[in-house]
Amino acid sequence: MEIYIILGIIAVIIIWFIYTWNKFIYLKRRIDRSKSLIDVYLKNRFDLIPNLVECCKGYSNYEKNTLTEITKLRKSYELDNDEKSGEKLNEHYKKLIALVENYPELKASENFLNLQKNLEKVESEIAASRRIYVNDITRYNTLTKSIPSNIVAALFGYKELPYPVLETEEVNIKF
């Protein structure tokens, strides 16, 4: 009889161990998927930038420097996928959005209005994806620190993950 109790306890421990290990794997995959989703939306925004630049060119002759710099940074980022280029691109992108306020006829352009709608949608998707990503990291980190799942985390080297930190301010597109 005692052997069955011992075997039952061992079976429960093994089942819990497998369940917890699978939960770590599941959360790691969710985090990877969330991060790649952010990258997809950033790429969508990235792909809209040339259209926005072209749309604004005719209205902003004296701001050509900003438009040229955005184009140059976009190419640099595309080739190197450098984080600093991405941050600079984001800064110039914000300047471009601010320049639009000076051109009421541009704001009324149908092409620009379509771009505006698309950019607002992409920005909203980026924000939602980041919230999901941070939520997934929170769930994972909680599991790595909670008792008794921290035992599985320690055995298999699951360490707490850092939260993403944005170096530059978020872009809020409001026209």
- Read off the pLDDT of residues 151-172 as tens digits, 9 standing for 90 and up: 999 999 999 999 887 554 444 4
Q: What dihedral do alpha carbons 132, 133, 134, 138 form, nearest 10°?
A: 90
CA 68, CA 55: separation in Å to the nearest integer? Answer: 13
More confident residue, 169 or 63: 63
Cβ burial, residue 109 (10 Å; 0-12/13-18/19+) = middle
Question: Which residue type does 29 have?
Answer: R
Structure-block tokens of residue 48 = 């809209």
Question: Which residue type does 11 have?
Answer: A
- Hey, what domains does the chain have and what are their CATH numbers? 2-156 (1.20.1440.20)
Q: What is the mean pLDDT of residues 104-117?
A: 71
Would you state the pLDDT for residue 128? 92
Q: What is the mean pLDDT of residues 73-90?
A: 69
